Amino acid sequence: MKHTLNALALGYAAAIMSALTMLVLGILANIGIYEEAVATMAEWHVLFSPSFLGIIGVMVEAAIISFISGYLFGSIYNRLNRGENK
């Protein structure tokens, strides 16, 4: 049986999950919880800050990066899987 991934759906799912994760981290940063995670996010993401615009910016940044990564992963998986099931 041939299994394929819907690369576009995988990209959208990854983008949504990462944007929601950044939203939660931004909210927790404003509450004062998970300060080490907030410091790590500030190091890894250019747009991250606990302000409203910083949270929106990092959500967009993370969504774009995750969409591209998820889509590429799904596409590569489908290409590799095509060769094995002949």
Q: Is residue 2 part of a domain?
A: no
For residue 46, give its domain range: 7-84
pTM of the model: 0.83
Number of domains in the chain: 1
Query: Degrees (nearest 5) of the Cα angle 9, 46, 26?
Result: 70
pLDDT in tens, 19-70: 999 999 889 888 988 888 888 888 888 878 888 998 999 999 999 999 999 9
pLDDT in tens, 2-28: 788 899 999 999 999 999 999 998 898
Q: Is residue 1 part of a domain?
A: no
For the record, the structure tokens of 42 come out as 């500030």
